[in-house]
A and B are shown apart, each in its own frame.
Chain A
Amino acid sequence: MRLWKVVVLVDLALALGVGGGYLRWGREAARLERELALARAATSVAGAEREVHGEGVVRAVLPDINVIVITHGELPGYMPPMTMGFRVATPKIQETVQVGDAVRFTVRGVPPNMTLTAIATLGR
């Protein structure tokens, strides 16, 4: 075989090897990332009962529908910061807080059916 053919062949093999390897690795990385995301999501929708703690400020107490509306920070693994109404587990809970109270609270249940089980003012 002529030398130039060898050179071209070697270069071609190198380019194919590097390009193919890169593509494969890239696809592998994307797949791993997807799997990781799935694995993370799986822990949060496992269907099991969960308990989440958060801090926030009471915006409204609505006894008619047994809801307390709270502007809260992130509820880890459950919800980003937002203003949100939570169903209370027992009506008694509503009597302990007022609008404007900074609170620490606990929600418990099987997502998305979570109820507010405990709430305590942080004091202001």
Chain B
Amino acid sequence: MTAVGLFVRLVHLAAVVGLVGVASALLLAGPSDRSTARRWQRDLRRWSRALVLLALVAGAGAIVQQAAVLEGSASALDAQAFARLLLGTQGGAVWLVRGGLLLILAAFLAVRGDIERGADWIAVRGQAALLAVAALALLAAAGHAAAVEPGTARAIAVDALHVVAAGTWAGALLPLAILWRRAGRDDGADSRPYATLAAHRFSRWALGAVSVAVVTGALNAIVQVGSIAALVGTPYGRLLLGKLLVLVGVLAIGAVNRRRLLPALAGDGAGVGRPAMRRLGRFATAEAAGALVVLAVVATMASTPPARHVPPVWPFTSRLSIGALAAAPELRTLVLVGSQITVLGVAALLASFVLRAWRFPLLGGAAVLLAVGAAVALPPLAIDAYPTTYVRPTVPYTAASIANGMELYRQHCAVCHGPRGAGDGPARGRLPRPPADLRAAHTRDHTAGDLFWWISHGIARGGMPGFASALGEDERWDVVNLVRALGAASSARALGEVIGPPRLVAPDFTFAVGPTPPHALRDYRSRRIVLLVLYALPASRPRLAQLAERYDVLVTLGVEVIAVDRAGGPDAIARLGGTPPVFFPVVTEGGREVVAAYDLFGEGPHTEFLIDRQGYLRARSTGGEAPAEINPLLAQLQELNAEKPAVTAPDDHVH
């Protein structure tokens, strides 16, 4: 997004918010027969004519700029490019409708003469407000909210409510500030009761509107940002923080206006009421300036990818994790004590709202207690963190990735970490401290991003080198996936013929049977239980014959058998032969990766894995020999079919 594009968007946004604000200011203040108030209303009408033209021109500019971005250059623009943008995309159609609304509003504002009171007054102002609000609210349907999946309609509705609530509040600040400033002047004394009434009405309205904006804004943030890491580690999140910072300042001024100046407006004439009115005008102008800054941030955010879809860069060298206590149980007491002090602090904070007489001592006490509580409880929970700590893997957890990671591991890692990850490689003696045992569940204690950072940049005090230059990014993620699989291996090997809890994710894999289009394990999610059979002929032949003969029963029980020949190759089906006929998929392509990855989870030569409908490994055959009986398998299937789907489907990426 160029600076010009950003600028026209800001101008458009500010103009539309201004239109909404002018309309709501007029509606809030109501009709009047005082000359200063009438002049103010006339001026507002004139300004809204200018604003609607500005909104149309800037909106057209934004469209041109958007079309130029889509076409790649400004010189390629022609009528077709605009047609594609306006008619071919949802965003374009929304802008078209908004442009139509603004045109109607412009015509409406141009035609209407003076109407000074009664139902007609409300109808005319209401109509202008309605059109402006519709033009503003529709922005939500062309913004980030429209790209939310699933729940698009809800996200758009929440965002529309947000922009309308915020717009009626922020836009009305400047028009009302002008009224209050004029009413604070000597020659504006006739409109002072009118301005005071408007201030009271606006104060009530603003409280409601800001509350709605805060709640809907929080909902928006959950959808578009979603995590602390995304808030502090992405451009979008940081813009949001900046917006909040400015907003807190603006709301602080608003609070002063409401608590101090509003009661003073009722004061007597020149001595109290007039200075209060002038100050209110000045403060509201400052608020409006702050609101304009917020709009600038909003315009920037609208053209910044939402935080949720951007890999966050963690800006701190540590993070808080309850997992830190697992390594140091003696610190548990400290955390407990600290959390109790914090609870006391919160109690004092709440009490300060209730006990007005003790407010300031209580507030001070609460601040001290909260600070002490945090100082006691937080340091033990802090663990090292890196810029990539919260980055999500770009390579999914698949058998192919694990197999590739294993190859890379053999070349680069096994010399220290050992051939099976036990930390017993031949070069371990030359290191300042023993290499990590990768068979432990590292991905439980560390994020995938932590592992990625260590693999990329090494661990200096452990003597581990970085591999950022030796391995590409995807290759390093492959190694991360392997480390996860190594960590899962010990739990997988604990699995037996009894159905275990749904905890271990079965790595996805793709396979093909003959010249047919490839399938993936995840295609069976929520549809079939999968019995994955890694077999070796001739020892496995009786078991495969058994499975083939009972295949009709297995299908009835909701299972698909996927058989992988350890010897692999396109002639796997031919080698199996035609007696008895085998109708379940026998993998002829992709089997090598499946064998490499799943051999981590169980010993060969014949291994069977039962994968439930959510994609979790639930049982496996043990001993490396083919099971002789089919009944245990049928019992397992009955059990899986009887249980309720316990948990949601697993993520396909390491956390």
A-side interface residues toward B, CB under 8 Å?
Answer: 2-4, 7-8, 11, 55-62, 69, 71-74, 81, 83, 98-102, 122, 124
Residues of B within 8 A of A62 (CB): 581
What's the Cα separation between A59 and B126 when bound, in Å? 74
Which of A58, A61, A83, A124 contacts B571, CB < 8 Å? A124
Which of A57, A61, A100 contacts B516, CB < 8 Å? A57
CB <8 Å contact, B516 and A56: yes
Within 8 A of A (CB), among B547-598: 570-578, 581-585, 588
What's the Cα separation between A120 and B41 when bound, in Å? 87
Given contacts A59-B583, A60-B578, whether A2 and B119 have CB atoms under 8 Å apart is yes
Given contacts A71-B585, A99-B578, A100-B573, whether A4 and B514 have CB atoms under 8 Å apart is no
Given contacts A4-B119, A11-B130, A59-B581, whether A100 and B515 have CB atoms under 8 Å apart is no
CB <8 Å contact, A3 and B570: no
CB <8 Å contact, B120 and A3: yes
CB <8 Å contact, A7 and B516: no
What's the Cα separation between A98 and B578 when bound, in Å? 8
CB <8 Å contact, B120 and A11: no
Given contacts A56-B516, A71-B513, whether A100 and B120 have CB atoms under 8 Å apart is no
What's the Cα separation between A96 and B123 when bound, in Å? 86
Shortest C-beta distance, B588 to chain A (Å), equals 7
Shortest C-beta distance, B90 to chain A (Å), equals 15
Q: Report the count of interface residues on B (CB-CB < 8 A).
A: 30
What's the Cα separation between A55 and B514 when bound, in Å? 9
Q: Which residue of B lies closest to A104 (CB)?
A: B515
Shortest C-beta distance, B511 to chain A (Å), equals 12
Given contacts A11-B127, A59-B573, A99-B578, whether A4 and B513 have CB atoms under 8 Å apart is no
CB <8 Å contact, B570 and A7: no
What would be 6 A-B contacts, judged by CB atoms less than 8 Å apart? A2-B119, A7-B124, A11-B127, A73-B516, A83-B585, A100-B575
Given contacts A7-B123, A99-B573, whether A69 and B517 have CB atoms under 8 Å apart is no
Shortest C-beta distance, A16 to chain B (Å), equals 16
Given contacts A56-B516, A102-B515, A102-B570, whether A3 and B124 have CB atoms under 8 Å apart is yes
Within 8 A of A (CB), among B134-183: none
What's the Cα separation between A61 and B127 when bound, in Å? 78
Residues of B within 8 A of A124 (CB): 570-571
Which of A69, A101, A122 contacts B583, CB < 8 Å? A69
Residues of A within 8 A of B120 (CB): 2-4
CB <8 Å contact, B123 and A4: yes
Shortest C-beta distance, A59 to chain B (Å), equals 6
B122 within 8 A of A: yes
Residues of B within 8 A of A60 (CB): 578, 581-583
What's the Cα separation between A59 and B577 when bound, in Å? 9
What's the Cα separation between A7 and B118 when bound, in Å? 14
What's the Cα separation between A57 and B576 when bound, in Å? 13
CB <8 Å contact, B517 and A74: yes
CB <8 Å contact, A73 and B123: no
Residues of B within 8 A of A83 (CB): 583-585
B635 within 8 A of A: no
What's the Cα separation between A99 and B575 when bound, in Å? 9
Q: Which residue of A lies closest to B131 (CB)?
A: A11
Q: Which residue of A lies closest to B122 (CB)?
A: A4
What's the Cα separation between A73 and B513 when bound, in Å? 9
B630 within 8 A of A: no
CB <8 Å contact, A56 and B583: no
Residues of B within 8 A of A61 (CB): 578
Residues of A within 8 A of B588 (CB): 57
Q: Which of B130, B516, B570 has the most C-beta atoms of chain A within 10 angstroms of its own C-beta?
A: B516
